[in-house]
Amino acid sequence: EGAVLAAWRFEELKAPAEPGKEKPRVQALELIVPGGTRGQLNREVRDGLAAARGANLARTLQSRPGNVATPTHLAEQAREMAEAAGLEIEIFDRAALEELGMHALLSVSRGSVEEPRLIVMRHNGGRAADPPLILVGKGLTFDAGGISIKPAAGMEDMKYDMSGGAAVIGAMQAIAEAKVRANVIGIVPSSENLPSGSATKPGDVIGSYGGKSIEVINTDAEGRLILADALAYAVEQEPAAIVDCATLTGAVVIALGHQAAAVLGSDDRLVSELEKAGARSGERVWRLPLYPEYRKQLDSDVADLKNVGGRPAGTITAAMFLKEFVGDVPWAHLDIAGTAYGDGALPYQRKGALGVPTRLLFEWVRTRAA
């Protein structure tokens, strides 16, 4: 797993190296192990390769710039992966989203000429009657903040705002490759968030697939809007559990830096499973609370709730917003804004896209299915 992760490079946008100046590539890896362990080793190698290849797919998708990795491109890449891996896939375009009533996702996309997409991938590895595990990933392919525009400095990194979606696509590939015996659904809402004359404005009140009205205080808090519709759709699939992941808040970087993602959730068992999966995969998480008192920060005078809760506890109030759309289903949220991309401090990482939390998601599903 570590070797495959370390061998990954993103060079597809560079001119080919001159003859004789190509960087060396690892062609083979030989493992020497004690006798009598080959069966177990083969299983572990299979799963390790699946996890690493899934993470590398996520890293490649993350690394492509916004003029390449549009929502349409992300959907096409997911379809290509799904067809190769034997997954079922359904992709909803703007017309289909309008028919469904996914008003929150559509509202985020209004400022862009690029159409939004909802990507739904299915791995049918369990019994037909088994409720699915659902992975939801934010696929914001470029986030300028909308009318609440971001500062120019560092905005180029906002191509990474689809890291949660990339991780879910990578995890679904890994799950299929490892032939995990569980029913798993991967859902990726995808959009751009740009300012224009047609963009959603601060103060607008929008609808949502879950039926709740939302006062948009800040258009740069858009990830929770597209996730709200995806989560409400996920609930309709009658899952055993839902885990979402997103580069959702800058506040999580203030709280945890770049060493761990935040995990918040409605179900103690599920959160504990994710903590253990994070420790085993090396993609660590740290739990933050969801005390009911935080919900008050989302109260709106004109709608069912507003999309930001002010400066205090920003990561928590963002998760409280998502919690409004999952009903009673066991649910957990991973805020990966500090861990999805960075300088690559570990030997198997490189600067830029890190693929987090692809391997955590795969490990959680694999363990849950065992």
Peptide bond into 312 cis (omega under 30): no
Q: Specify the pairing of strand 139-143 against strand 183-193.
A: parallel
CATH number at residue 129: 3.40.630.10
Single-letter residue type at 243? V
Cα–Cα distance, 294 to 309 (Å, whole number):
9
pLDDT tens by residue, 72-131: 999 999 999 999 999 999 999 999 999 999 999 999 999 999 999 999 999 999 999 999
Judge whether residue 220 has pLDDT over 70: yes
Peptide bond into 71 cis (omega under 30): no
Judge whether residue 236 has pLDDT over 70: yes
Average pLDDT of the chain, as a whole number: 96
Judge whether residue 35 has pLDDT over 70: no
- Looking at residue 13, what is its pLDDT? 87
Cα–Cα distance, 174 to 178 (Å, whole number):
6
- Looking at residue 29, what is its pLDDT? 78
H or E element in which residue 216 lies: none
- Looking at residue 363, what is its pLDDT? 98
For residue 243, give both structure tokens.
């885990």
259 burial via Cβ count (<10 Å: 0-12, 13-18, 19+): exposed
Spatial neighbors of 351 by CB under 8 A, at least 6 apart, are 342, 343, 344
Provide the β-strand partners of residue 184.
Answer: 123, 133
Instruction: For residue 154, give the nearest of 163, 146, 166, 143 by alpha carbon.
Output: 143
For residue 186, give both structure tokens.
């991967």
pLDDT tens by residue, 53-81: 999 999 999 999 999 999 999 999 999 99
Q: What is the mean pLDDT of residues 187-214?
A: 99
Residues with a known catalytic role? 150, 224
| 202 confidence band (pLDDT: 50, 70, 90) | very high
Displacement of CA 242 from its chain's centroid (Å): 12
- Looking at residue 113, what is its pLDDT? 98
| 36 confidence band (pLDDT: 50, 70, 90) | low
Q: Which domain holds residue 155?
A: 2-369
Spatial neighbors of 253 by CB under 8 A, at least 6 apart, are 337, 338
Instruction: For residue 244, give the nearest of 188, 283, 161, 197 by alpha carbon.
Output: 188
- Looking at residue 196, what is its pLDDT? 98
Cα–Cα distance, 105 to 308 (Å, whole number):
16
Q: Are 140 and 248 in contact (CB under 8 A)?
A: no
Instruction: Name the 3-class secondary structure at 318.
Output: helix
Q: Are 140 and 222 in contact (CB under 8 A)?
A: yes
For residue 235, give both structure tokens.
């609930």
pLDDT tens by residue, 140-169: 999 999 999 999 999 999 999 999 999 999
Q: Please give the tally of structural domains in the chain.
A: 1
For residue 87, give both structure tokens.
């997954």
Cα–Cα distance, 43 to 34 (Å, whole number):
15
Judge whether residue 266 has pLDDT over 80: yes
SS3 percent helix, strand, coil of the chain, rounded to 5, is 40, 15, 45
For residue 50, give both structure tokens.
């699946």
Spatial neighbors of 39 by CB under 8 A, at least 6 apart, are none
- Looking at residue 269, what is its pLDDT? 98
Judge whether residue 321 has pLDDT over 80: yes
Single-letter residue type at 223? G
| 215 confidence band (pLDDT: 50, 70, 90) | very high
**Which position has the higher pLDDT, 5 or 295?**
295
